[in-house]
Amino acid sequence: MSALLRHRVYRRLFAAQVVALTGTGLATVALSLLAHDLAGADAAAVLGTALAIKMVAYVTVAPAVGALAHRVPRRALMAGTDVIRAGAALALPFVTEIWHVYALILLLQAASAAFTPAFQATVPQVLPDERDYTRALSLSRLAYDLESLLSPLLAAALLLLVPYPWLFAGTTAGFLGSAALVVSTALPRPRPDGASGEPGGAYAGAGAGVRLFLHTPRLRALLALDLAVAAAGSLVFVNTVVLVRNHFRLPAEALTLALGAYGAGSLAAALLLPRLLGRAGDRAVMLGAAAALPALLAGVAALTASPPGGVTWAALLAAWAGLGAACSAVLTPAGRVIRRSAAEADLSAAFAAQFSLSHACWLLTYPLAGWLGTAAGVPVTTAVLGGLALAGTGAAALAWPRRDPARLDHVHADLPAGHPHLAGARPTGAGWRHGHAYVIDRHHRRWPEGASG
C-alpha cells in the first residue's frame, strides 16, 4: 500500500477522497440527529425519504455524467461538484422545515452523483497495472471503512463540545479540502472515443453502460449483490437512530457507537480482503459474504423484537459489525469485476452505470426501511429486508457462472474476411473463430453462448 501512496497523482486523489469522506461521515451523524429533532418518532420515515431523494439524484445524474465525462475536463468537473456539495452542507444547519432538508439533499447528492463516477473512472487510468489497481480498490474501501469507524468517533468527541449542527461545518470543510486537492492535481485525459465505436465517445448515450451490465453475466450478478447490500445497509443507516433513541433510549452519543461498530466490521474485512481475493477469487468471496447478510438480518429481527437491555444492545453492536464486514467484502471487489468486464475507454460509462444501477437498489430499500419501519416496526422491516438480501444473493449465484475465464473462444459471423479484429482467427462453417479477453463492445454485442476459455 505504501508504494501506491508514493504515486503523486494517486496520493492526491486518495487524500481528496479521505477528506471528503470525513466530512460526509460527520454529516451522516448530524443528519440523523436533525431528522430526529424535526420528526421525533417518525425520524426513520424522514431519513428514508431523504436518502431516497439521494438515490433519485444518483440514478438520474450518474448515467448522463458517464456518457459526457470524456467531454468535460475531469479536474473542473470534480472540483466544481465539491464546491456545490460544500455550499449545500453549509446550509443544512439553518433548515426549519423537513422539505428544506429534502431540497438540500437533492442538490448535494446530485453533485455527488457527478463526482463519484468521474473519480472511479480516473483511478484505473492513473494506475494501469492490475495489481496496483487492486490495491487501490482495497485502499479506497479502507478509506470508506475508516470513515465509518472514525467519523462517528470524531462526531462523538465534537458533540461533547458543540451542538450537532456544527458537524455540518466539518462536512463543508471536507468538501472544500477535496476541491483544493483536485485542483492541484494534473489528471489524465480520457480517450475521446469509446470502445463501442459509436459517435459521441464512451457509449454515446447514458443507457449504453446499462446495456453492458445487462449483457455481461458477472455484471448482472454484481447488480443482484448490490440489492443484497442495499437491503442490509438501509437498515443500518435509516433505523439505527430510532433503535438508539427510541428502543434503547440511549443518548445521542450512542448513535456514533452503533455506526462505529458497523465501520469497525467493514474495516476489518477490508484489511483481510487483498490476501483473501488472491486465494479465493472475486466470485467466491463476494457470494460468500452476501450469503451472510440474510442470516445476520434474521438475528437482528429477533434482537429488536426482544426487550431492550445491556445484552441485546451488545448483541446489536456485534450484528452491526458483522453487517459492516459482509457489506465491505461484497463491495470492495466490485471495481475489479467492472474493470475486467469493460474496455478501458468504456470505463467511465461502466462505472457510471454501476453507480446508477446500484443506487437504484438503494432507492428501493431506503424508503422501505424508513416507511415500513415507521408503520410496522423494526423487527418486521428487518425480516422483509432480510428476504430481499436472500433473493439478491440467490440471483447472483445463478447469474455468475462458476467457471468465468477472462479469455473466451467465440465466433464472428458478422465481420468480413480481412477485418482487423479477425487477425489470427480461423474460418469455420459458422464464421471466424478466435479467442481473447471478452468484453461487450462494438464487435461483441452479446455474451457468447457455450463459449469456452
Residue 444 β-bridge partners: 441
- Look up the pTM and report it: 0.73
Are 335 and 137 within 8 A, CB to CB? yes
Tell me the pLDDT band of 149, cut-offs 50, 70 and 90. low
Quick one: pLDDT band at residue 329, thresholds 50, 70, 90? Answer: very high
Superfamily classification of domain 2-399:
MFS general substrate transporter like domains (1.20.1250.20)
Report d(CA 89, CA 232) in Å as an integer.
26
What pLDDT is attached to residue 254? 86
What is the pLDDT of the chain when averaged over all its residues? Answer: 82
Report which of 342, 365, 233, 213 is spatially closest to residue 297, judged by C-alpha positions: 233
Give the per-residue pLDDT at 66.
58
Q: What integer is the mean pLDDT of 190-214?
A: 56
Residue 442, exposed/middle/buried by CB under 10 A (0-12, 13-18, 19+)?
Answer: middle
Q: What is the mean pLDDT of residues 180-201?
A: 63
The values of phi and psi at residue 184, to 5°, are: -85, 5
Set of cell numbers at residue 193: 472515443
What is the helix (H) or strand (E) element at residue 431, kind and residue range? strand 431-437
Tell me the C-alpha to C-alpha distance, in Å, between residue 122 and each of 133, 321, 346: 11, 31, 12
Would you place residue 296 in the very low, low, confident or very high pLDDT band (cuts 50, 70, 90)? Answer: very high
Q: Give the pLDDT confidence score for residue 201 in this predicted structure.
A: 41
Residue 40 backbone class (left: φ over 0; alpha: ψ -120 to 50; beta: rest): left
The residue type found at 423 is A
Residue 194 has pLDDT above 50, yes or no: no
pLDDT at 225: 97
Give the per-residue pLDDT at 37.
81
Chain segment 66-94, per-residue pLDDT in tens: 556 556 778 888 899 899 999 999 998 88
First-to-last C-alpha distance (Å) of the chain: 32
Q: Where are the domains of the chain?
A: 2-399, 406-453
Burial 374-398 (b: 16+ CB within 10 A, else e): beeebbebbbbbbebbbebbbbbbe
pLDDT for 350-380, tens place per residue? 777 787 788 889 989 999 998 898 889 999 9
Tell me the C-alpha distance between 62 and 352, whole Å: 5
